[in-house]
Amino acid sequence: MNSPAWIMLLFSLPTKRASERVDIWRKLKRYGALSLESGGHLLPNTAANLEHFEWLAAVIRKFKGEASVIQVHSLDDLPEERLKQLFVEARTRDYESLLSELKKAQSRSKRKLGLGHLRRRFQAISVIDFFNSPLGSRVEDLLARADGGVAAKSRRGQARARLQKEYRDRTWITRPRPGIDRVSSAWLIRRFIDSNAKFIFDGNAARHADAIPFDMFQAGGFGHRGEDCTFETLCKEFGIRAQKVRAIAQIIHDADLEDEKFGRVEGIGLDRVLIGWAQQSVSDDELLGRGIELIEGLYHSLS
């Protein structure tokens, strides 16, 4: 039997929890969840989305509310194609709003003030554009033109050069007890993006405003996007295409998401080792250091 196509979050909060209700609503919007007339909230069934909903359910219960995360094959009153259309329509509205702001920014100044903010907004929308709104590629193209690029390849190269410069000699933040995706992402950051990268651990990135989040529950930074794990997201964002890195990306994807997409089993053993270390009294820094050495060894073992 096929895996359920959707996951649904059902929850209720005490009436006195008005501010918490608003906070939950904002997070659901950030995750791209579709609000149903029945009161449930729906997302495509991916590992990242499931993690979002399970984390949110835990927060709701902490607020003395009730929450259930349900895997759903289908909804009798909303066929699958209609559901996908509703997701596309929601992202199209987001892109239309961004497009309007982009045009205003260009008309205000030839220096294109505010484009960095608009680029970050575009990235946040594209992460939750699960079914590829046609307007997304148009907005991306207009943003690239606004940056002064000429050819698509040239635009990507210039953007990545700026990106690399922006993320040099920085502090990066992720959740405590790093697993296979976060360990390998830290290795990738230090080897190909930021050789002087420093890493800190905290479940709340907001407490470290200058740090760059990766594989965090909160929106922003670098994390799971669509069907990609964090390692794959970083490879795409920074244009890292080395053959051995592509192989590692496949290994990490299959170990982290367990969907057998690439049929790579090499990461399963590494994942188990990291889980074993995490269960011991090993600090987060040492756990990350050991994990980076593991991935470095994997890198050198590939032909």
H-type alpha helices, 109-229: 115-127, 134-146, 152-166, 180-188
The domain boundary, picked from 51, 72, 93, lies at: 72
Q: Does residue 49 contact residue 41 with C-beta atoms inside 8 Å?
A: no
**Contacts with 133 (C-beta within 8 Å, 6 or more apart), sequence order:** 88, 91, 92, 95
So what's the pLDDT on residue 49? 93
Residue 156 lies in a domain: no
Quote the distance between the C-alpha of residue 75 and its chain's center: 27
pLDDT, one tens digit per residue, over 78-114 is 999 999 999 999 999 999 999 998 888 777 654 444 5
> 202 with 87, same domain?
no
Label residue 303 by pLDDT band (50, 70, 90): low
So what's the pLDDT on residue 188? 96
> 179 with 289, same domain?
yes
So what's the pLDDT on residue 52? 93
The domain boundary, picked from 15, 37, 72, lies at: 72
Counting residues of the chain whose pLDDT is more than 70, the rounded percentage is 90
The token pair that represents 295 in the structure block: 């991935």
Residue 158 lies in a domain: no
> 251 with 276, same domain?
yes
Counting residues of the chain whose pLDDT is more than 90, the rounded percentage is 58
> 127 with 186, same domain?
no
> 87 with 139, same domain?
yes
Answer with the residue of higher pLDDT: 9 or 116.
Answer: 9
CA distance 6 to 36: 13
> 172 with 296, same domain?
yes
Residue 41 lies in a domain: yes
pLDDT, one tens digit per residue, over 223-271 is 998 889 999 999 998 888 888 999 999 999 999 998 889 999 999 999 9
Residue-number span of the structural domain to which 253 is assigned: 165-301
So what's the pLDDT on residue 1? 56
Residue 190 lies in a domain: yes
How many CA within 13 A on the CB side of residue 141?
7
- Identify the H or E element spanning 35: strand 34-35
Task: Give the mean pLDDT of 5-13.
Answer: 95
Q: Are strands 198-201 and 171-174 parallel, antiparallel or unpaired?
A: parallel
> 58 with 111, same domain?
no
pLDDT, one tens digit per residue, over 26-42 is 999 999 999 998 889 99
Q: Of the candidates 130, 128, 125, which has an alpha carbon nearest to the alpha carbon of residue 138? A: 125
Domain count, the chain: 3
Residue 1 lies in a domain: no
Q: Look at 26-30, 99-103, 126-130, 156-160 and tell me which has the smallest mean pLDDT.
A: 156-160
Residue 157 lies in a domain: no
- Considering the entire predicted model, what is its pTM? 0.50
Residue 165 has pLDDT above 90, yes or no: no
The domain boundary, picked from 72, 100, 121, lies at: 72
> 107 with 182, same domain?
no
So what's the pLDDT on residue 155? 45
pLDDT, one tens digit per residue, over 192-213 is 989 899 999 998 888 998 999 9
6 vs 17, 40, 43, 237, 286, CA distance in Å?
A: 28, 12, 6, 27, 38
Label residue 148 by pLDDT band (50, 70, 90): low
> 225 with 274, same domain?
yes
Output the domain CATH number for residue 16.
3.30.70
> 226 with 260, same domain?
yes
- Per-chain mean pLDDT for the chain: 87
> 107 with 214, same domain?
no
Residue 106 lies in a domain: yes
> 143 with 248, same domain?
no
Q: Look at 151-155, 213-217, 271-275 and tell me which has the smallest mean pLDDT.
A: 151-155
Residue 160 lies in a domain: no
Task: Give the mean pLDDT of 14-20.
Answer: 88
Label residue 66 by pLDDT band (50, 70, 90): very high
Which region holds residue 136: left if phi is over 0, alpha if psi is between -120 and 50, else beta? Answer: alpha
